[in-house]
Amino acid sequence: MNTNRLSKTIEAALNAQITKEAHASQIYLSFAAWASSQGYAGIANFLFKHAHEERNHMMKILEYILKRGAKVEVTSIPNPPENPLNLYNCFEKVFGQEVENTKAIYKVVKKSHEEGDWATWNFLQWFVNEQVEEETLAMNLLDKIKIAGGENMSNMAQYSFDRDIENTSQEITPAQDVTTANP
Ligand code: OFO
């Protein structure tokens, strides 16, 4: 008896999304390492936590595929992009990456709608909301940098922003407390 509750199309789309979330995690990880090497400890901490969050998103999808009796395919992850040129460029890239991931999620949502796979559609609504949160956060940080001088931020402004973001990241669940259910 076939107990797979996902269609081949949805199974493939969700597996592709696993790779996208893993890729997002690698991007945050590489930007965090870059920020740390530039002396931005607060920003590095913030980005490391986000790398962890994205990995939990990957796990959330992986667990869902297994729960529905379908097959997980773990594939290779594309390389992260080049290091950012500066803080402004870093958050520009972060925002761009979040928008790309939102588009990818919307495609899977659309497929689940077309197929009338309401369980998957419902499961994906969590990701739709999460992307709104993440886009807003990146957008707000980008706005702050713009106000502080954008690409021409002074050293003092960079110092304050780094300290500021450290406080922002205090509001985010510490990486060690993050779970798949509470990313
Ligand atoms: Fe996975 O949440 Fe953003 O990309």
| Dist. CA 50–CA 169, nearest whole Å | 10
Give the model's pLDDT for residue 78: 96
Please list, residue by residue across 104-142, b when 16 or more beta carbons sit within 10 angstroms of its beta carbon and e when fewer do. bbeebbebbeeeebeebbebbeebeebbeebbebbeebb
Ligand 1 touching residue 98 (CB < 6 A): yes
- Mean pLDDT per block of 10 residues along the chain (183 residues) reads 94 98 98 98 96 97 98 97 96 97 98 98 98 95 94 94 80 52 58
The pTM (predicted TM-score) of the whole model is 0.91
- Amino acid at the residue 34: W
Give the model's pLDDT for residue 167: 76
CA of 133 to the centre of ligand 1 (A): 9
CA of 156 to the centre of ligand 1 (A): 31
Nearest to 94 by CA among 38, 34, 39: 34
Give the model's pLDDT for residue 166: 85
Ligand 1 touching residue 162 (CB < 6 A): no
Ligand 1 touching residue 124 (CB < 6 A): no
Out of 17, 27, 57, 124, mutate this one to test ligand 1's pocket (max ligand atoms within 8 Å of CB): namely 57
Give the model's pLDDT for residue 183: 56
Give the model's pLDDT for residue 76: 97
Domains in the chain, ordered, with CATH?
8-174 (1.20.1260.10)
Give the model's pLDDT for residue 55: 97
Give the model's pLDDT for residue 174: 46
CA of 29 to the centre of ligand 1 (A): 13
Beta strands in the chain (DSSP E): none
CA of 38 to the centre of ligand 1 (A): 25
Ligand 1 touching residue 61 (CB < 6 A): no
- Amino acid at the residue 65: I
